[in-house]
Amino acid sequence: MEIVKESFEYRVYSSMDELSHEDQELMQIAIDQLDFAYAPYSKFHVGSAVRLEDKSIYKGSNQENASYPLCMCGERVALYSAAADKPNIAPKSLAITIKNIQMPIEKPVSPCGACRQVISEYEFRHHTRIRILLKSDSPEVYEVDTVADLLPLGFNGTFL
């Protein structure tokens, strides 16, 4: 028997001011998207923005439904919107932010398992890594280099 240890690193910026101009712009768009979330059930707003290789930006926010399983996460809305419009252009960076209307959330929240799997699919499809920026109510921003860090031993098309 062998024990395999996997670890990953992520960067913590004390505020958006420490980000590149491009990343500040992307995160600000994600923040603006919080107002477009349709989250009457959870009161948990998610805003997102994805920048593609050609520098274009696609926006997303979570969209809920009275039939709860139909709710769609904000990051997937942005990624699917981009893929529907520019299927051959790789996503390069994804900003995600949240606002829980019922209580402040200080620590950056990272994508749910389903979204990790979807982000992973776009990395696989485009043979690329997608940088992920995360922010909640506090000024700090986390930066993860690839969703593979958030989804170790992930499942992808190489198995099919």
> Least distance from C-beta 87 to ligand THU, angstroms?
22
Give me the residue label for tokens 């606002």.
99
Active site annotation includes 75: yes
Interface pick for ligand THU out of 26, 30, 39, 79 (rule CB under 6 A):
39
Q: Is 42 in the site for ligand THU (CB under 6 A)?
A: yes
Rule CB under 6 A: is residue 82 a binding residue for ligand THU? Answer: no
CB nearer to ligand THU: give 18 or 110: 110
- What Å distances lie between residue 160 and 26, 76, 116, 128, 155, CA to CA? 34, 23, 19, 19, 10
**Phi/psi zone of residue 43: left (φ > 0), alpha (ψ -120 to 50 degrees), beta?**
left
Of 76, 80, 98, give the one whose Cα is nearest residue 30: 98
Task: Give the residues lining the site for ligand THU (CB under 6 A).
Answer: 39, 42, 44, 46, 62, 64, 71, 73-75, 111-112, 115
Catalytic residue numbers read: 75
